[in-house]
Structure 1
Amino acid sequence: MPHIMQMVILFCPPPSSASLNLSKLQPSWQHPFRSPLPRNIIPSTPTFRPPKLGIPNQSSSSAPFALTVGPTITPNSVRKLKQLVALKMLPEAMDLFLDMKIQGIKVGVVLESMLIDLLMKSERPDDAFRVFDEMPQRNVVTWTSMISGCVRNGFGKTGIYLFVQMLESGVLSNDFAVNAAIQACTDVAALRCGEQLHSLILRSGFTEDCWSSISLIDFYSRCGLVDRAELVFAGITDLDVVSFTSLISAYCRNNLFDSAMTLFDEMVRRGIAPNEHTITSILAACQPRLGEQLHGYMLKTLIVNSVHSATALLDFYWRNHEVEQAKLVFHQMEAKNVITWSLMISCCVRNGELHDAMRIFNGMVSAGIRPNEFTFSSILGACRPSQELSKLGSQLHSLSIKNKIALDTRVANALLAMYARCGKVQELEKLFLEIKEPDAVSWTSVISGNFQNGYNDRSIEWLCHMHGDGYMPNEYGLSSTISSCANLASLNHGRQFHCLALKLGCDINVCTGNALINLYGKCGCINDSELAFDCMHTHDIMSWNSLIYGYANNGHGREALEAVDKMLETHCSIPDESTFLGILVACSHVGYVDQAVRYFKLMSDTFNIIPSASHYACMVDIMGRAGRLEEALDIINQMPFKPDVATWKTLLGSCMMQRNLELGKLAAAKIFELTSLDSASYVLLSNLHALHGEWDDAKIVRNKMEENDIQKEAGRSWIQINNEVHSFVSRDESHPESGTIYQRLEEIFNIIKSEKCLCETNIGVNEFEIGV
């Protein structure tokens, strides 16, 4: 067929992003594998040898060719070899095959093709190529076995090259070879080559073969060209369940679920009964109600007994958060594979049923099913900071090491996330350093892990290392680092990371934008915080909360309430607990008592948000700052739950501000009933006595602190000089001129005391702080 040989020339397209440049693939006459056949008995011309395109060395899984003492060669050896190949007894078949080669017995192209097919299916492509190289003759079956074997073992590029060489050698193609070549193009998304194969099919008359059309539909759908898949489908004259299923799968693969459902309805309307593959494909597209109907159909037709279909049904319920139905399907399955177990574990973890996930994982191991990467990444999500679940994480890490997949990218990233959640930062960093090629998720895990556990400076250092190693952070890594800068009030570092976000184009991303709003708000740059907010294309509730808190913490109560009104007017976000807490903080800082009362009622009456202890404590603080201590006490007494230490401490601080000794003593007594170890409460009560001149009582409180061995946590401050954050604490004597500094502080205090300002200010606190 002349047009086939012409196709060989057309088959080598110019290089493009979606095609293979086959013209660069030159035959290599030097055997790239380790060992040739023991003896070249049959002389032959130099044979085609494809270039080494990533085919792994199989020495670990298969023995190399070698001279062995095999079975005695008889006239029936060919028949025996055929039986061994048919029975898939590969070691015995290879021994006999080698002995026959050594003694010059002709095996035959049919039997050698069968042997090649068995070697490929046994994941021994290197041995298959050795047999192929030594064949004196090859027919289309031989080439087809090689091409399909390359696809099966993940070497699609080599499969395409083999198909080209088959055409150049003069072997006429058939529908099976063409299908194998299309699958090779599909394997590596070689669009240009696949298009030329489609042309060859049209010119060679293979269009009548349904399987060629099915392969083309699959090829185009995996390349994202659904419209071409539809054209191929439209050209099929005899539509059957396989044809419909192929296009339904194509739609689902490209997230065209409505089109998939429409085609499914058309198939049913034509009276074509869906098979197992149709059901499993359409389950990815259907709504919950139809999924339940398909479940009933599967039960009626016994399709549900198939592991593949039952797993698809389990995945359907998993995606629709139908945990109980998923459990029912899982427990009714007669046979389960690793995907089934992993899906059920993931379902339980996502639903918060962590102990159930652990039990299922243990059952999987007890059943002899070896966990894979997806299993480990799912069950590691169940590990939490609690002692039991944290210990499970370490055990899973050990098991993953035993299974030799601990450093697999998916598993390693899941382990990093687990250690971050459990607060084990040292283990987190140690594991990260063991990863040879960390990806963006790995870097983000170690950056955010340090940030989440309070190691803000380390979070910044890790992002600098990441950038120095040539990796670009994503929005999650940047947001964690910018938030670390906010916690340290490191404005200069924060601005540098803002510039990096601008360079990467993720400054308008919601995640990074929220971090920038928070950074500038905490650093007092409220105008920059507003600019960061305005630059974002979309805002979520965190964006509004960050802006409201920025206004509140910088004393812009009116602007905070205006932002709340704007958020409510635009209906872009619904306020949550954090929003109302920010509102109350803003009202507290500027003394908006009536507005605070209104919003406090609004959160429960309109938005059905039950106030938490933090909201009540904020209301106590608002009333206390306004001098309405009795109303603050009434709020505490009306709380629907027992007041905690923070609430009573807020009242005690208000009593300190308003110099109300009696109510302050009551608040302190309530605190000491709950805990006797809160140093701040002792200091507040002692200073309150001092404000009233009750120095003996103040000393008694201080003595109780010493008796209980309670140390006041030193106040810490920090300042940024030359891009470096310096931290120092109260009574810090590390500075070389600390003596002069404290002497000057004492002089200032004596001047204030001599001016009789002690009763006009809260100077009693400072007196005890510096020990005068």
Structure 2
Amino acid sequence: MLVNGDLHTRLHTSHAPPHFQKLRGKAAIERALDNVDVELSNELVAKVVNRGCLGGEAMVRFFEWAIKRDEIEKRIDVYNVIVKALGRRKYFDLMLEMLSEMRVRGVVLNYETLFIVMNSFVKGKQVARAIKMFLCLDEFGWECDTVALNVVLECLCKRSFLSSASLLVKKMKGKVEFNETTYNILMSGWSRCGNVGEFEKCLEAMVGDGLEPDSCTHSYLIECLGRAGRVNDAVEIFENLEKDGCVADVCVYNAMISTFMQIGDCDGCLRYYERMLSMKCDRNMDTYVRIIYGFLKARRVSDAIDMFDEMVVRGITPATGTVTSFIKLLSSYGPPHAMMMIYKKARKAGCSISLSAYKLLLTRLAKFGKCGMMLDIWDEIQENRYSSDVEVYQLIIIGLCNNGQLENAILVMEECLRKGFCPSRLVCSRLNNKLLTSNKVETAYKLFLKIKVARQSENARKHWRNKGWHF
């Protein structure tokens, strides 16, 4: 690392040190990769292109090298990894070049690939480009059929580009056959924003095409009315379902539960939950998530924990993102006891905990000075093979400072610096001020010198990374 005395001079020289020179030429890069003593696998390739700090061309070059190796299977799902990685980072031209290359190699593109491409465009706010590509899908090896249309509509409606989705439906009218899913996707979008007028237009068009509204359609209608504040109309729709020849299933009950939760009526929500049980309608994870989330928003934490217990007892394991959303909501109020209970119950149920959830726990525990629990969480982060980044170290240091454990805070700071991280100036200043207040001037000065060197090293890394050298 560049931590010696003439660092400043080196930063401003026009040439990089020999051991930081870029490898020039495809052959040189492939030789260097061939010499790496690592067992190559599909999972490793995915990690490199998804989590690495490579640019678009470097990602493609690495993938091209990997796909030639015998260890990597030439399946469409392997190619989808690089397509998704390029799209996520908005390397759209490279993504399209990869699609063309896949066709040349005889790789058959599937609808998952189409979803990845369209979702990348829409997420990157390249809606016009997504629609333009859809209108000439045959050039990329797809058929412009009902399934493809539904894929594009799902991407547009998921990101709330509802006007574009509606215009696309009008444009494709008569060219592509619509089914119930086509209209339901569009109505789900209008439902999320509570636009009853547009929803009714879609419903009329659906009936006009000779398609029967199903339970999903009714659930979207109920949710739409609820979001528009027309709860009484939503209740009326629910009560008249049998007259319309539709049986209330779990989707419809979930819509009613969500409607009452949105207005903060937890008791009304529970009435429909009990009615659901009396009708022997099976609950699903969405049912429990909506109720628990409503309880947490209403700060009825004990009821939320009871419902969480019931969900786990029934063998329903919450998704990682669901647990994170619960912990995030609990981190906004009250002491950390409740969020720790949810966390422990989720772990006991076999749920995978995200690094984001761990950071939320550390933040709250650090604020309340719960050092013992905080260090236990840190151990579990490492047990789950998450690497501690600079943010984790900062939270640990803040928690130890808040609890007056300055010696331990120094040890954590030094470990952080050894790993090549440099905490923010605010965190360093807080620890330094605590040491000075405790009359540990010499310790504070020694730590200051170490942080100064680490800061210089960090600046050097940023400088060389901007020039394309990675170390």
Normalising by structure 1, report the TM-score: 0.36
**Is 1:176 the counterpart of 2:176 in the alignment?**
no
1:459-608 superposed matches below 5 A: none
1:162-218 C-alpha deviation (Å, 9 max, x unpaired): 424316679762211111122233455556643441222335364x52221222234
Equivalent residue for 2:170, pick from 199, 217, 238: 199
CA distance in 2 between partners of 1:273 and 1:437 (Å):
60
**Aligned AA (2:300):** E
Equivalent residue for 2:218, pick from 244, 247, 250: 244
CA distance in 2 between partners of 1:373 and 1:187 (Å):
25
CA distance in 1 between partners of 2:200 and 2:396 (Å):
43
CA distance in 1 between partners of 2:69 and 2:400 (Å):
52
Aligned to 1:265: 236
1:633-655 C-alpha deviation (Å, 9 max, x unpaired): xxxxxxxxxxxxxxxxxxxxxxx
**Is 1:68 the counterpart of 2:70 in the alignment?**
yes
Aligned to 1:329: 307
Equivalent residue for 1:390, pick from 371, 374, 386: 371
Aligned to 2:117: 150
1:89-110 C-alpha deviation (Å, 9 max, x unpaired): xx7xx4xxx6xxxxxxxxxxxx
**Aligned AA (1:181):** V
Say if 1:257 and 1:285, in contact at 8 Å, map to a contact too: no
**Aligned AA (2:183):** S
Change (3 A) 1:220 1:430: farther
CA distance in 2 between partners of 1:303 and 1:251 (Å):
23
1:467-486 C-alpha deviation (Å, 9 max, x unpaired): xxxxxxxxxxxxxxxxxxxx
CA distance in 2 between partners of 1:125 and 1:422 (Å):
44
Equivalent residue for 1:379, pick from 361, 377, 387: 361
CA distance in 2 between partners of 1:291 and 1:416 (Å):
43
1:193-250 C-alpha deviation (Å, 9 max, x unpaired): 43441222335364x5222122223445668866434432343312221112234445
Say if 2:144 and 2:176, in contact at 8 Å, map to a contact too: no
DSSP-derived class of the 2:316 partner? coil
DSSP-derived class of the 1:336 partner? coil
- 5+ residue gaps, structure 1: 1-33, 36-52, 70-90, 99-114, 456-772
**Aligned AA (1:289):** D
How far is 1:281 from its partner?
4.0
DSSP-derived class of the 2:238 partner? helix
Equivalent residue for 1:299, pick from 277, 283, 290: 277
How far is 1:371 from its partner?
1.6
Change (3 A) 1:401 1:262: farther
Equivalent residue for 2:290, pick from 297, 303, 312: 312
Change (3 A) 1:234 1:133: same
DSSP-derived class of the 1:235 partner? helix
DSSP-derived class of the 2:67 partner? coil
CA distance in 2 between partners of 1:436 and 1:221 (Å):
46
- 5+ residue gaps, structure 2: 1-28, 31-54, 86-94, 438-471
Ranked by relative contact order (alpha carbons within 8 Å, sequence separation 6 or more), the top structure is: 2
**Aligned AA (2:238):** M
Aligned to 1:627: none
DSSP-derived class of the 2:117 partner? helix
1:480-523 C-alpha deviation (Å, 9 max, x unpaired): xxxxxxxxxxxxxxxxxxxxxxxxxxxxxxxxxxxxxxxxxxxx
**Is 1:166 the counterpart of 2:137 in the alignment?**
yes
How far is 1:318 from its partner?
1.8
DSSP-derived class of the 2:181 partner? helix
**Aligned AA (2:117):** C
How far is 1:292 from its partner?
0.9
How many residues align structurally?
A: 351
Say if 2:397 and 2:413, in contact at 8 Å, map to a contact too: no
Say if 1:179 and 1:215, in contact at 8 Å, map to a contact too: yes
1:398-447 C-alpha deviation (Å, 9 max, x unpaired): 554675475598x7997798578657899699799999999xxx999999
1:635-654 superposed matches below 5 A: none
Say if 1:221 and 1:229, in contact at 8 Å, map to a contact too: yes
1:504-562 C-alpha deviation (Å, 9 max, x unpaired): xxxxxxxxxxxxxxxxxxxxxxxxxxxxxxxxxxxxxxxxxxxxxxxxxxxxxxxxxxx
How far is 1:291 from its partner?
1.0
CA distance in 1 between partners of 2:420 and 2:256 (Å):
39
**Is 1:235 the counterpart of 2:198 in the alignment?**
no
**Aligned AA (1:239):** P
**Is 1:283 the counterpart of 2:257 in the alignment?**
yes
CA distance in 2 between partners of 1:179 and 1:283 (Å):
27
DSSP-derived class of the 1:335 partner? coil
CA distance in 2 between partners of 1:304 and 1:435 (Å):
52
Change (3 A) 1:366 1:146: closer
Aligned to 1:657: none
**Aligned AA (1:231):** K
DSSP-derived class of the 1:284 partner? helix
Change (3 A) 1:340 1:224: closer
Say if 2:195 and 2:228, in contact at 8 Å, map to a contact too: no
Aligned to 2:343: 361
1:407-426 superposed matches below 5 A: 407=389, 422=403
CA distance in 2 between partners of 1:152 and 1:143 (Å):
14
DSSP-derived class of the 1:370 partner? coil
Structure number with larger C-alpha Rg: 1
Say if 1:327 and 1:344, in contact at 8 Å, map to a contact too: no
**Aligned AA (2:136):** Q
Say if 1:314 and 1:340, in contact at 8 Å, map to a contact too: no
Normalising by structure 2, report the TM-score: 0.55
How far is 1:148 from its partner?
2.1
1:246-281 C-alpha deviation (Å, 9 max, x unpaired): 3444566xxx25236633531332323433333334
